Amino acid sequence: MQMIPFVDLKAQYQSLKKEMDKAILDLVGSTQFILGEDVTLFEQEFSKYCDVKHTVAVSSGTEALILALRALEIGPGDEVIVPANTFIATALAVSYVGATPVLVDADDQNYNMDPEHVVRAITPKTKAIMPVHLYGQPADMSLLLKIAKEHKLFVVEDACQAHGAEYKGKRVGGIGDIAAFSFYPGKNLGAYGDGGAVTTNNKKLFDRVTLLHNYGQKIKYHHLVKGTNSRLDTLQASILRVKLPHLDRWNSRRQEIARMYSQGLANLPVTLPAIDKNSTHVFHIYAILTPKREKLQKHLQENGISAQIHYPVPIHLQKAYAELLHGKGDFPVSEYLANHELSLPMYAEMTDTQVQVVINCVRDFFSEK
């Protein structure tokens, strides 16, 4: 039986092995482990990739979100509007700076924060809106920017799943005031450990993040603000520099695989991903919805195929957020997604044959019932 993993980082490494091994050995040989040329060059290259003026390479996506909020001087007493349907790090970053995450439900078509709910969640304490480009598809940025402008709010993009995705022809990362990316190994652009980036077109915010992520110093041992050590390891920057030139090709292959899935799974009693007419979707995750997702997941597993759930518990039903005093039924779309979502294997190195094996296995499941 052919095993089909959910992601295959080994296949990606094999495809880059020669270049990657050299980059790693060169960096180790240089002993430039903190900051230096590879970090600076990666920041420039990533800015160019995102079509944004500034990038600060940082230690994780969560840290990128925290630094973005700190740069905006958001803290205790402030509220930040966050989707209920996201990976928990989005809300955790808000809590970490001492502000309160105010949750809103998702749109049932693109699964991202619903602008209508955002409007209703605004209070005099609201400082920012934090849209997540979930699964690799941009949120409804035109409406969100309009709402933000009307209410004088900042827009912090959580682009941790959407490297390279476009909204109305503009890459994510430069649409709001400031954005966060993650280079967690399984993301569309992944390091060999933790990593992240903050991007912005605003020089002031860039300067603040630059200060904050390196102990608050511009000149060594002269500390202007209370910063942290949130730098990206130079080794990770070297690794990401090898990978970045391949990202567009990898995203195109993900889109091709998504098209094959959507064609192959048409006419089954499952909801397939809908692509927003304003967006390109880079398919960090190919999500289907079915009331039988546990049984389907088990059937796939028995046939050597790994499918996962993103995410089984929405933020408002997490124990960690009991303090928000939400309960079942508060965010019905997010709850529906949490109870029906299944993510099929998705990685650029997947062969057409592997995609077909997955399609056949899902079709078998439904024809048996």
First CA to last CA distance, the chain:
23
Choice between 97 and 270, CB closer to ligand PLP: 97
Rounded to the nearest whole angstrom, what is the least distance from the CB of residue 10 to ligand PLP in the complex? 20
The type of residue at 100 is T
**Position with the least CB separation from ligand PLP:** 61
Candidates 30-38, 84-92, 201-209, 258-266: pick the segment binding ligand PLP (CB under 6 A). Answer: 84-92
Figure out which of the listed residues 47, 55, 85, 86 binds ligand PLP, where binding follows CB under 6 A. Answer: 86
Query: Interface with ligand PLP includes 230 (CB under 6 A)?
Result: no
> In the bound complex, what is the minimum distance in angstroms from residue 184's beta carbon to ligand PLP?
4
What burial class does residue 127 get, using C-beta atoms within 10 Å of its C-beta: 0-12 exposed, 13-18 middle, 19+ buried?
A: buried
CA–CA distances in Å: residue 138 to residues 69, 92, 262, 336: 20, 21, 19, 20
| Residue 12 or 161 having the CB closest to ligand PLP | 161
Select the residue interacting with ligand PLP from 46, 49, 87, 250 (CB under 6 A). Answer: 87
From the list 79, 105, 157, 158, which residue makes contact with ligand PLP (rule: CB under 6 A)? 158
Q: Is residue 136 close enough to count as binding ligand PLP by CB under 6 A?
A: no
The token pair at 27 is: 């960096």
Distance CA 25, CA 1 (A): 37
Note whether 355 binds ligand PLP by CB under 6 A. no
Structure token digits, residue 81: 């509007």
- Closer residue to ligand PLP in complex, CB, 135/215: 135
Nearer to ligand PLP, 110 or 303 (CB): 110
Q: Which stretch binds ligand PLP (CB under 6 A): 38-46, 101-109, 153-161, 208-216?
A: 153-161
Verify binding: residue 132, ligand PLP, rule CB under 6 A.
yes
Binding to ligand PLP (CB under 6 A) within 235-274 occurs at none
Provide the CB-side half-sphere exposure for 366 (13 A, CA).
Answer: 16
The contact pattern for ligand PLP, residues 38-77, with x = CB under 6 A and - = no contact, is ----------------------xxx---------------
Cα(218)–Cα(198) distance, integer angstroms: 18
Is residue 192 at the binding interface for ligand PLP, with CB under 6 A as the rule? no
Whether residue 164 contacts residue 251, with contact meaning beta carbons closer than 8 Å, is answered with yes
Q: Quick one: which of 243, 252, 365 has its CA closest to 307? A: 365
161, 214, 230, 279: which one contacts ligand PLP (CB under 6 A)? 161
Name residue 77's amino acid. G
Closer to ligand PLP by Cβ: residue 162 or 317:
162
Under rule CB under 6 A, how many of the chain's residues touch ligand PLP? 15
Please confirm whether the linkage preceding 311 is cis (ω < 30° from 0): yes
- Per the document, the length of the chain is 369
Cα–Cα dist 356/13, whole Å: 23
No. of helices (H) and no. of strands (E), the chain: 12, 13
Give dist(CA 194, CA 181) in Å, integer: 11
The sign of the torsion formed by the CA atoms of 78, 79, 82, 88 equals: positive
Question: Which residue ranges make up the site for ligand PLP (CB under 6 A)?
Answer: 60-62, 86-87, 89-90, 132, 158, 160-161, 182, 184, 194, 196
